[in-house]
Structures are given as structure tokens and as C-alpha cells.
A and B are shown apart, each in its own frame.
Chain A
Amino acid sequence: MSERTLFIDGSRCIGCQACVQACAECDTHRGRPMIHLETIRRRDSVQTAPQVCMHCEDPICARVCPADAIKKTSDGVVQSSLKPRCIGCSNCVLACPFGVPKYFAEIDQMMKCDLCYDRTSVGKMPMCATVCPSGAITFATPEEIGRTRKGTPVNRWHFGREEVRTKVYAMAPPGRDLIQVTTGRTPTDRTDVAAMLEPESLLNRHL
């Protein structure tokens, strides 16, 4: 069986924050959640999305680190900055294409999701994926995902002309093998209940 990794499916997320609350229970950063849970635009939508570290194959955070403080383990996990080295410059926070690292001013250090190294390094699942009630965050083998999901796992991302490959996968509709990230006018997932109630608006996506 192949190795387990994280699969993120934003269409399942219900914004409950179980992942955030549980992340703070991880031993490598107890009391400080590393996962991000974004409420996209509450006025128009109830969409929410978790963002864990995607654990890039060639992490940009590590490349832009002047202190050489971000290391990847041999099993592909990008760790929090090394405490003796990190100078708290926030280069990684600003450069990460996924917006993952967090800078903590009081300890002058960057910390980030380390795939719950205390758990995954001994064969357990990361905290967020274990508790996530919606399956938006799942820790499984690609085979298990292939068996149980409609979508396709994708780990190739394009940010402009930069291609990033990640250890963590996102679930995309079948047939995709790349997620092209554009920042143009990506429309918010507008759901206006009033519009749904108008008899003429029957072409809305819920039909």
C-alpha cells in the first residue's frame, strides 16, 4: 500500500473549525493552531475553506528564507522554522503561494503546519484530518481516495508561470491534473436566497 497523505476537498468544508480547535492540540505547537480556515466572503456565501501546509516538493518558503531555517524531512514534510536559526523576517509568510506560514511576534519565530509530525511520524493521522467531520481534510492513500471519491486528486499548481508540486493533494473534478491559479475576477460563490425565490430565476445553479 502506498503512503498516506492529506487530501483537501473544499466543497465538503462546513466551516465548523474542528480542525482549528484540534490543531492547537498538536504536541509540536500546543496552544497555537497552524491551520487556516477562511470564511471566503460571508456576505454573499457560507463558503469556507481550510488551508494546511501543502508540503511542496521544492518549498518556496525554504528557498526565500535568508536564515536557511526551513527544512524538509526525508519523508517530504516541510517543518516549522528551526528555532535557533529563524530570524522572524516573514519572507516565508509573504512568499508561500498558499499563504500558509504564520509569524508569531512574541517568540519572534515562524511556525507552520508540520503535518502533525508528532503523529504522522509514528503512523497516526494528523489531528485536523482525524477530527474533520466533513471529510474536507482526509488522510488516506491515493488508492483509498480513488475508491471512495468522485473527484481526482491534484498536486500540480500553476501560480503565474511558477509550477508547484505538493505532497498534499486537492480534490478537483474528474479529468483535471493541474490547478491554474488566477487572481483575476474570480467571482465569489454568490448565493442570493432572494434571487432563488424569484420565479424567473429558475436557471440558478441549484436546479
Chain B
Amino acid sequence: MSEMASERRDRSGGLTDVANAFVWGSIAAGLLTAGIYFGSRGFKDFDTALIPYAGGSVLAAFGLGYRYAMWLRRPPTRLYWRRGWQTFLDPRRLAGNLVHLLGLFWRNFIAQSFIERRSPLRWAAHACLFWGCILAAAVTFPLSFGWIRFETPPNSQDSYIAYVFGVRLFEFPLDGIAAMLIFNVLVISAVLVLAGVFLALWRRVRDRGALAVQQFANDLVPLILLFAISITGLLLTVSARFLHGFHYGFLSQLHAATVILTLLYLPFGKFFHIFQRPAQLGFKFYRRAAAEGEPARCIRCGEIFGCGLHISDLKRVEAELGIRYELETGSHYQDVCPPCRRKNLALVQDRLWRDARQGE
């Protein structure tokens, strides 16, 4: 699906928007670089073999910062972003909000039940991809940033010590369950992701609705990228463990290429929702607060059709966007509820025909 319609307007914001986004992108990249520098104790813990990954991440951070800033320049986004934080941090609400946040976090991020109600198969695919990626990211990013590292203790060959930010965290035996899990975490996540990719594809090639609206760049490329990362990662493991490093160098370069490609894709396509989606929580708090205020009543039928705060904010957004709903009568079209808009439209059109008939 083209990003045309809204992107065109985003760009129309002009140079200042771009400059602003560039600044935010640079800040994000700078922060990550600083994080890597300090987290790896001035590159002391940094594994130079992982430079491409870290570099890719910094580039991705720039892209994400840039894109996020661009996104926040859109009037509705900016308003609800601000409103979300305002309501969340409101001292009178903060305690309740924190409790509510736990519930939201469980429902929307852990259980993701809203996806299950869309389609159980979709939920299963998403859950596999979600947990696979979370798991992989939790290991690979800190590793490539030099934030964690493993060393064998000087006096023993049978165990490992895990260091985080250079601080010794714990020691574990090489033949224990912890070791097995830690060394195989990427295998596990790769298997999860692959299962998710296959479930998603299985759905996408059979669901007639999905077949109609899906687009290669937006819906299939992400799956292809995840597939490529997982399969090359698995091949690396196979090569190292079972084939005495058969083509290991080539495979590791291939794997790095797929990862970096994906990192660079993050800000643009479907993956951006990973960063965008949490912003919905802000809206949820805003909606809760708005519902406690005055309701909005339709000026045509007198029925409640929304929250007063929401409607007045929407009018501000519309004004910023140049949507001119002010009516001659001094009223505002935004104060007409959707069912009344439909009825009114029908009456307006019917009136034209009646006038025409009477003119005959």
C-alpha cells in the first residue's frame, strides 16, 4: 500500500520538518553510540567482529528517530502524543494510571487478545514472531553493543561468567540447563520466528481477504527478511556444530547482511509498528480521562456521540490540517454525529430531487 496520501502531506511540512527530524535522528543515533561506548566500558568489552551489527543498529536508530519525529509532526499524532503524556503523568491520576498500565500491558502486549479476536491463526503467527524477535533482540543487541559478555573463569574450564556492563552477574556450569538455554537461545528464537513466518504465510496464501489487500513490499518483505535472518542464523549454528565450520565465513557474512538489511528496513515498512504501537497506550489513558468529562451531544439529534474533550481536540486538529467544517449557520459540522451525517446527506440529496420534480 502506498504511503502516498499522508506522506505527501508530511513532506509538505517542508524543510523545517526534515531538519527537525534530522536532528532527532542524530540524537537517537548519538545516544545509542554513547550507550555503546559507555556500556562497553569505552569499547573495552566491544567485540570488533560485531561492528557491522552495531553500525547497522546506529543507522537504524537514526532512521527510527527521523521517522518518529516526522510522524510526530502530524497534527493528530502530536496532539494525542502530548495529551497521552499529559493525562498519564497527571499527578491526580498517576497512581491509577500505573495500575491501569499493568492491565493494558498484559492485554495488549502479552496476551494480545485483540489480535486473537481478529483471527486465531493471525494471533498464533504474531505470537511466534513476537516472542521469537523479543528473545533474539534481548540477546543479540546487548551482545553486539558489548553490553554483555561471557568469560571462562581463570581457574576453571567448566563454567562461564556473565558480565553485564562490565559487572560480573553470575557464573554457570557449562553442562547445566542454564548454559544450554543461553547458548541455544538464538536457535530457539529462530525456530519460533520460522514457525511464525510459516503460519503467517499459510494464512496469507489462503485467506481470500488477505490475498486481496496484501502488498509485497509491506506484507511479504518483512516475512522474507525474518525468514532470511532465521535461516542463515540456523545455518551458522549447523555449520559450527555439525559441519566443522563448513563455509562459516561466507554464512556469517550472509547472516550479517540479512540482519543489517532488516535493521535498515525497520523505520520504513511494517516493522515501524513495533515502535509506533506503544504510543497507543497514551491514547488509551487520554480516552479514559476524556470519558470522565462532558459528553459531546449531536446538534441535530441531541444524542451523545462521543467525549467533549475528544471532539474539541479533533476540531483543533482539523483546524491545523486546514479542514474547514465551520458552517454558515455558525455551527460546526464536527458537532453532527455520524448517523445524523448520513441521514442529513440523504435528506439533502432527496431535497434536490424533490425540488427538481416540483420544477417539472
Contacts and interface: CB of A to CB of B under 8 A. Distances in A.
Interface of A: 10-11, 26-30, 36, 38, 40-41, 47-49, 51, 58-60, 62-68, 70-74, 79-80, 82-85, 87-91, 93-100, 106-109, 114, 117-119, 121-122, 151, 159-162, 170, 172-174, 176, 179-184, 186-189, 205
Nearest to B357: A205
A109 B211 contact: no
A67 B79 CA distance: 12
A109 to B, nearest CB: 7
Contacts of A90: 306, 310
B210 to A, nearest CB: 8
21 contacts: A51-B345, A63-B321, A64-B318, A67-B77, A67-B276, A67-B279, A80-B213, A85-B273, A87-B277, A87-B279, A90-B310, A94-B334, A97-B341, A98-B342, A99-B339, A118-B209, A160-B333, A173-B352, A179-B349, A186-B347, A205-B354
Residue among B77, B213, B327, B351 with most chain A CB within 10 A: B213
Contacts of A30: 209
Contacts of A72: 2, 4-5
A184 B299 CA distance: 10
B183 interface: no
Given A30-B209, A99-B339, A183-B336, A64 B317 contact: yes
Nearest to A80: B213
B41 interface: no
Identify whether the interface residues of B are mostly helix, strand, loop, or mixed. Answer: helix
A73 B80 CA distance: 26
A121 B213 CA distance: 9
Interface in B307-340: 310-311, 314, 317-318, 321, 323-329, 331-334, 336-340
A99 B341 contact: yes
A181 B1 contact: no
Contact of A66 (B9, B77, B340): B77
B253 interface: no
A143 to B, nearest CB: 23
B353 interface: yes
B22 to A, nearest CB: 20
Interface in B243-289: 270, 273, 276-277, 279-280, 283, 287
B2 A183 contact: no
B212 A118 contact: yes
B47 interface: no
B74 A66 contact: yes
Nearest to A65: B76
Nearest to A172: B352
- Taking chain A's interface residues, is the majority helix, strand, or loop, or is none over half, making it mixed? loop
Contacts of B328: 160, 182
A160 B317 contact: no
A185 to B, nearest CB: 10
A95 B318 contact: yes
B273 A79 contact: no
B241 interface: no
A84 B277 contact: yes
A172 B346 CA distance: 11
B212 A121 contact: yes
B114 interface: yes
A108 B114 CA distance: 6
A71 B4 CA distance: 8
Given A58-B5, A84-B270, A94 B306 contact: yes
Contact of B348 (A85, A91, A173, A186): A186
Given A27-B208, A28-B209, A63-B321, A36 B76 contact: no
Interface in B41-81: 71, 74, 76-77, 79-81
B118 interface: yes
Contacts of A160: 324-328, 332-333
A89 B287 CA distance: 8
B92 interface: no
A64 B213 contact: no
A121 B208 CA distance: 12
A162 B325 contact: yes
B152 to A, nearest CB: 43
Contact of B4 (A74, A79, A183, A188): A74
A10 B346 contact: yes
Contact of A40 (B74, B337, B343, B357): B343
A91 B314 contact: yes
